[in-house]
């Protein structure tokens, strides 16, 4: 019986100023998908672990199966595949949990079907899965989870995805408070129209962040980590947001923002030592407001998802 297993990492989407257009991949944490050949044609999700029974086994609702379905329809085939998902990421966390499942499934399926696609060409199928998960086909989690590194989605129609330079010492601290916030819910608080003044500020910061990544200019990165479009509306959904920001800035963070749609917060720093000090400062704030938090450290993962060999 043919079997293939793949891993795809967690991601930080938006990176403050890049709503729906910027994201980067994290090291270590992610989802694993195993595909097994089955006799009857069609896809089935046969098992899910690590989700406390919360995720749908229904192939029309699980991002693993939705992504593979989009791929096999594009190929015009209907193979028999049974899907096993090991969730390594918390749900509704803002760490690209639905995206990591879709990407791991696609990498495994591509290998299973003898690699009909280049890695980057799997992206539209992953976007189709994100649409099912949160109602919007945003690519800023799936693109970095698939390709690794810091990724810019310059355009969606047609897709134009660019891998950016990653400064050597750039480090990330992730603060995941113990509650769930669905992406669909935190998208629903956003405004459709943006004042011209805000569009100008946001464009300046996106350009500044990208220039800072290429110049490896940490001060410029720091000045550019500012969001006037989504953060003001979403921060109110995240207890302690402004207190944590003040504390981590004091501990040397280049900046802090909402990871994806939250509630996880990300901080960028120059080097791991700073990242550890930042985490300590943040933990004190969470303790003072009585909210449990999990802390992760990571350099930027430059490889993205991959096939796991036994
Ligand atoms: N394999 C999957 N992993 C995670 N969520 C999934 C998966 N398949 C479907 N979903 C649905 O996607 C939603 C969670 O996605 P989302 O809120 O975007 O979380 P995250 O920000 O962690 O990606 C839930 O409604 C969940 O049922
Ligand atoms: N650009 C999206 C990113 C959502 O990320 P997630 O990890 O919370 O799913 C948004 O801001 O809505």
Domain ranges of the chain: 3-165+301-308, 170-299
Across the chain, mean pLDDT equals 97
> What does the pLDDT read at residue 116?
98
Ligand nearest to the CA of 101: 1
Residue recorded with tokens 């591509």? 110
CB neighbours of 272 closer than 8 A, spacing ≥ 6? 171, 297, 299
Quickly count: other Cβ atoms within 10 Å of residue 17's Cβ: 27
Q: Whole-angstrom Cα distance, residue 253 to residue 275?
A: 7
Measured from the Cα of 181, ligand 1's closest atom is 17
- pTM here is 0.97
pLDDT tier, 310 (very low <50, low <70, confident <90, very high otherwise): confident
Which residue, by CA, sits nearest to atom 27 of ligand 1? 55
> What does the pLDDT read at residue 134?
87
pLDDT tier, 136 (very low <50, low <70, confident <90, very high otherwise): confident
- Residue 35 has phi, psi (to 5 degrees) of -110, 135
Give, for ligand 2, the residue of 8, 9, 12, 13 to mutate: max count of ligand atoms closer than 8 Å to Cβ.
13
pLDDT in tens, 151-182: 999 999 999 999 999 999 999 999 999 999 99
pLDDT tier, 130 (very low <50, low <70, confident <90, very high otherwise): very high
> What does the pLDDT read at residue 52?
94
Among 89, 127, 90, 92, CA closest to 106 = 127
CA distances from 216 to 65, 164, 167 (A): 39, 11, 5
> What does the pLDDT read at residue 303?
96
- Select 3-165+301-308's CATH number: 3.90.1180.10, 3.30.230.10, 3.20.20.70, 3.30.930.10: 3.30.230.10
Residues with CB under 6 A from ligand 2: 13-14, 19-20, 94-96, 138, 140-141, 183, 187, 230, 260-261
User: At the topology level of CATH, where does 170-299 sit?
Assistant: Alpha-Beta Plaits (3.30.70)
> What does the pLDDT read at residue 135?
87
User: Is the bond preceding 263 in cis, omega lying within 30 degrees of 0?
Assistant: yes
Q: Where are the alpha helices (DSSP H) in the chain?
A: 63-75, 97-112, 123-134, 142-147, 183-188, 196-215, 218-224, 231-234, 241-250, 272-288
Q: How far is the CA of 97 from the centre of ligand 1 (A)?
A: 6
pLDDT in tens, 34-90: 999 999 999 999 999 999 999 999 999 999 999 999 999 999 999 999 999 999 999
User: Is the bond preceding 158 in cis, omega lying within 30 degrees of 0?
Assistant: yes
């Amino acid at each position: 019986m043919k079997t293939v297993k793949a891993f795809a990492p967690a991601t930080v989407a938006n990176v403050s100023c890049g709503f729906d257009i910027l994201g980067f991949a994290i090291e270590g944490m992610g989802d694993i998908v195993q595909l097994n050949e089955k006799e009857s044609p069609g896809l089935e999700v046969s098992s899910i672990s690590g989700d406390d029974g919360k995720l749908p086994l229904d192939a029309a609702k699980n991002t693993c199966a939705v992504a593979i379905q989009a791929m096999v329809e594009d190929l015009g085939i209907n193979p028999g595949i049974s899907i096993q998902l090991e969730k390594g990421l918390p749900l509704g966390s803002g760490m690209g949990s639905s995206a990591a499942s879709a990407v791991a499934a696609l990498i495994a399926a591509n290998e299973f079907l003898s690699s009909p696609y280049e890695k980057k060409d799997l992206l539209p199928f992953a976007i189709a899965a994100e649409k099912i998960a949160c109602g919007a086909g945003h690519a800023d989690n799936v693109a970095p989870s698939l390709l690794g590194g810091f990724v810019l989605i310059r355009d969606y129609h047609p897709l134009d995805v660019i891998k950016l330079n990653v400064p050597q010492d750039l480090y990330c601290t992730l603060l995941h408070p113990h509650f769930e916030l669905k992406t669909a819910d935190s998208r629903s608080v956003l405004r459709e129209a943006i004042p011209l003044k805000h569009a100008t500020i946001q464009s300046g910061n996106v350009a500044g962040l990208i220039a800072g990544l290429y110049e490896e200019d940490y001060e410029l990165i720091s000045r550019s980590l500012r969001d006037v479009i989504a953060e003001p509306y979403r921060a109110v959904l995240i207890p302690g947001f402004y207190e944590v920001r003040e504390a981590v800035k004091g501990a040397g963070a280049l900046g802090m923002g909402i990871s994806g749609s939250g509630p996880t917060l990300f901080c960028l720093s120059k080097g791991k030592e700073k990242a550890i000090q930042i985490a300590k400062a943040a933990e004190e704030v969470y303790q003072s407001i009585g909210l449990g938090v999990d802390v992760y450290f990571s350099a930027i993962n430059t490889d993205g998802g991959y096939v796991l060999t036994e």
